[in-house]
Amino acid sequence: MPQSQRIGILTSGGDCPGLNAIIRAVIKCATHKGWEVFGIPYGTQGFIDLELGQCTPEDLRLNEHGYDVPGLLRGLDILQFLSGSVLGALNKGNPSDPAIAQEILQGYQHLGLEALIAIGGDGSLDIIDDLAQKGEWRWVAIPKTIDNDVPYTEISLGFDTAVNTVTRSLYDLTFTAASHDRIMVVQVMGRDAGHLALHAGIAGGADVILMPELTPCLSESVIDQVCRQIAQLRQGGRRFALVVIAEGVCRPEWQKDSCICEYLAQQIQVQSQRLCASGDPQFCTLQEVDTRATVLGHIQRSGTPSAFDRLLAARFGREAVDLIAAQNYNRLVVWDHGEVTSKPLDQVMPYIKQSHREGRCPDPVDPQGRLVQTARELGIYVGE
């Protein structure tokens, strides 16, 4: 293994807080070893741009730790505080077209990399793994996603910050809900997994948390139980409530709805009126239920990375560089029982690919897990 190496780094899939912190960590650790580091813009699209002559290898070279603020603050190392990705990222497109795949492989070869560090979620890592096998790349994967659904790692980069962001939003919405005696229905990200809804819902004081693993669709039974939860709260003297729903929960006919919180808010009002009309005294408090729906949207992907995500980025970045230095390629960097280690990709990727073929989440919330049990014991309705 030569002393001086050329390694590449790219971010792929949706952005999340902490990506720049990982880029910074990789550059610092690699340049400390005397290596050259090249940042690939917009994921694998950067290899195509390179092959088509739209950029040169020198354009992609990363120096020192990335970026210094000029002027009086010159020397301030700012990358670890910034959200998004300075390299850019794409969360659509699949180079299944042989011609496109060939351009990517040729661009990689043109750059003359000895190894690649790819930062992505389960979907983008699946795509990169296919390319890596075709091109015989030596690479190391780093998991990042606010959904926290990459298998074999207890936590992915960006998840902690997203939980904090959603928790703050729930805190703020609680007070407007209380001021107007409203039921606030809040939609959070989580197309296939409810980790974000569950963690932030508990931390943010939610009364109801709905996620694909326990309530895959809003059946009549689920909506009825939500209304009964609200009635119970009102009997106890609290006239407002906070309902958190992951975007992956479907309508009763098993259709995805980009604004599922609006549908749920409407159905809560309808079912509350039905229960109230039954004449049962326990539902008399549902006579004037007022609901509001809020989609938090892409604000969940933003914000200054939390201290934990910055530390995780530093440790993940260092581990990736150390794996390359040890010629220990084709590994997924993971967080396992409070330590950073790695798993062989020939163990990780077949499981991810099989999950995708079967249309299921590779690392969903465990319906019998301790956090779900904790939510139930706290009196939160999470489904059956």
User: Distance between CA atoms of 266 and 374, rounded to whole angstroms?
Assistant: 29
Q: Do domains 6-158+305-357 and 163-301 have the same CATH topology?
A: yes
User: Distance between CA atoms of 205 and 228, rounded to whole angstroms?
Assistant: 18
| Given 15, 49, 122, 147, the catalytic residue | 147
Q: Beta strands of the chain (E only): which ranges?
A: 6-11, 36-39, 61-62, 115-120, 139-143, 182-188, 208-210, 241-246, 290-295, 331-336, 339-344
Classify residue 144 by its DSSP letter: B
Looking at residue 2, its pLDDT comes to 46
**Quick one: tokens of 274?**
């039905």
* Tens digits of residue pLDDT in 120-161: 999 999 999 999 999 999 999 999 999 999 999 999 999 999
User: Distance between CA atoms of 159 and 149, rounded to whole angstroms?
Assistant: 10
Residues 163-301: name the CATH superfamily: Phosphofructokinase domain (3.40.50.460)
Q: Which of 47, 287, 320, 285 is nearest to 157 (CA)?
A: 320
Kindly tell me the burial class for residue 296, based on how many C-beta atoms sit within 10 Å of its own C-beta (0-12, 13-18, 19 or more).
Answer: buried
Coil, strand, or helix at residue 240? coil
| Residue 320 pLDDT exceeds 60 | yes
With beta carbons less than 8 A apart as the criterion, state whether 45 and 90 touch: yes
Confidence of residue 63 (pLDDT cuts 50, 70, 90): confident
Looking at residue 76, its pLDDT comes to 64
User: Distance between CA atoms of 180 and 27, rounded to whole angstroms?
Assistant: 51
Residue recorded with tokens 């090249």: 38
With beta carbons less than 8 A apart as the criterion, state whether 230 and 173 touch: no
- The torsion region of residue 134 among left (phi > 0), alpha (psi -120 to 50) and beta comes to alpha
Read off the pLDDT of each residue in 216-235 and give the average, rounded to a whole number: 96
Average per-residue pLDDT in the chain? 93
pTM above 0.85, yes or no: yes
User: Distance between CA atoms of 253 and 95, rounded to whole angstroms?
Assistant: 33
Looking at residue 4, its pLDDT comes to 66
| Residue 48 pLDDT exceeds 90 | yes
Domain-wise residue ranges, the chain: 6-158+305-357, 163-301
| Residue 369 pLDDT exceeds 70 | yes
Would you list the DSSP string of 42-111? TTTHHHHHHHTTSS-HHHHEE-TTS-B--GGGTT-B-GGG--S-TT----S--TTSHHHHHHHHHHHHHH
Class of domain 6-158+305-357: alpha beta
Is 363 a known active-site residue? no
